[in-house]
Chains A and B, each alone.
Chain A
């Protein structure tokens, strides 16, 4: 089927324009230099082609001035590219404040996505236009990579840790979602669509989409089922620390180090409780490795987050 001859992917996020601009810049420099080199080769090859069998041209040893010139100029040009690219990368690295959150789980061979409000999708992601979206991503098995070409964003999803990335769509439409890191048999089937909807369409989709409980509610249910509440009590410190208000706060560990209790820390504390124990609590908690799925973990963390938010609302400074 003839689908035209596209040369450029759609640019549909806030970072896409910057990436494309830099790309054009490097391309322009590259074309300039390759054209120069090719022209020189053609010209020399024709101009100085061998005229007679015993022709012996005069030797030229080299020229320090030339060597320095063609080392320093490319160096300076590459440093411009480096500076531009690195600043672009750094600026685009941290998500803006107040980004809406989506939780992504990669699994051979599908993407499972959860909205905090409870909508769950597989290989499809609906997001509103013009709002920053932060993805928190984990994988149940091997390394995957979440890639949306139209947004120029990509991030590996590595077992054992949370990866995160963000984007802000600028154009409503339907865009490819790929797994970019080879993950086994159906790697090329681990694809889907990102639907960027206008604000009203998104509201309509939200209310129309089947939704069960919110992530926090699901997490609370897991919290009960796994018996976490017997030690982590809401009212008074039990055998484990009180979790109300803990998310986003700074906790002191047994070895004196202070860490921020973020998603990564909570995840580690559930799976490897003895790794970073809060000061004053002996390591009694069993590991929950193998007893809770990555999706479940995200839900429990969403629950712990939600009780932190309630806590802050209840006790205004």
Chain B
């Protein structure tokens, strides 16, 4: 029993074979994503309730966001999901070098997103749109405008935090790919990384219309 690990590289002692390990880790990741959905779900619920209470204030507040930057970031993220998917494909075929390259591109795109986001946050700071005692939305009398920005920062901040974590994981997996760890029977970690990355992407796909495009219909 103790020599299980010796048979297949990457097989942990508690599993019988790599298939079982892949099944288990994939299910684990899906469960993790389920809890992530509930985590963001709390924020989305708060958003839905407050927006239905204060539709005008939310639409007005949404005009303070820059649709071009948000749209650009959306494109960046979607493209990064593509490169991530290609990276997973390369891992399944055991091409470690290609894996490395795709993960690197994904990593760069993720960083690009964060840089743009940082610029946006800076704009908000300059305009006095950070909630709290210094909040000063020009001309907006409705306090619910500030509520919108509370939610904006909480939601995009949480999302950005997930991006940062994803970036750290990408670095780890790039190192592993450099070490030629993956082959046609052992690619689970990259596949799971892909699930995570797509999830973070999808959260943004929801955030973008809810926050940026909300004011467009007026």
Rounded to whole Å, the gap between the CB of B56 and the closest CB of chain A is 8
Answer yes or no: A286 CB below 8 A from chain B CBs: yes
**A30 in the interface (beta carbon within 8 A):** no
Which B residues lie at the A interface, using CB under 8 A?
Answer: 54, 56-57, 141-144
Chain A contact residues, CB within 8 Å of chain B: 255, 272-275, 283, 286-287, 289
Q: Is the CB of A283 within 8 A of B141?
A: yes
Query: Which residues of chain B are within 8 angstroms of A255 by Cβ–Cβ distance?
Result: 56
Count CB-based A-B contacts (< 8 Å).
17
User: In the complex, what distance in Å separates the CA atom of A273 from the CA atom of B142?
Assistant: 8
A239 to chain B, nearest CB (A): 15
Q: Which residues of A contact B57 (CB under 8 A)?
A: 274
Q: Is the interface of A mostly helix, strand, loop or mixed?
A: loop
Q: Is the CB of A289 within 8 A of B141?
A: no
Q: How far is the CB of A287 from chain B (nearest CB, A)?
A: 6
**Nearest residue in B to A255 (C-beta to C-beta)?**
B56
Q: How far is the CB of B76 from chain A (nearest CB, A)?
A: 37
User: Which residues of B lie under 8 Å from residue A283 when comparing CB positions?
Assistant: 141
| Residues of B close to A273: CB separation below 8 A | 141
**In the bound complex, what is the Cα–Cα distance between A289 and B143 (angstroms)?**
10
Q: Knowing that A273-B141, A274-B56 touch, tell me 10 more A-B residue pairs with CB under 8 angstroms.
A: A255-B56, A272-B142, A272-B143, A272-B144, A274-B142, A275-B54, A275-B144, A283-B141, A286-B141, A289-B143
Q: Give every chain B residue within 8 A of A286 (Cβ-Cβ).
A: 141
Q: Which chain A residues lie closer than 8 Å to B142 at the CB level?
A: 272, 274-275
A-B contact pairs, 7 of them (CB 8 A): A255-B56, A272-B144, A274-B56, A274-B57, A275-B54, A283-B141, A286-B141
Taking CB atoms, residues of chain A closer than 8 Å to B144 are 272, 275
Residues of chain B within 8 A of A272, CB atoms compared: 142-144
A38 to B128, CA, bound (A): 67
B185 CB, nearest partner CB in chain A, Å: 44
Contacts of B141 in A (CB 8 A): 273-274, 283, 286-287
Q: Chain B contacts of A289 at CB under 8 A?
A: 143
Q: CB-nearest residue of chain B relative to A287?
A: B141
What are the 4 tightest A-B residue pairs by CB atom distance, in nearest-first order? A274-B142, A274-B141, A287-B141, A283-B141
The chain B residue with its CB closest to the CB of A271 is B143
A275: B residues at CB distance < 8 A = 54, 142, 144
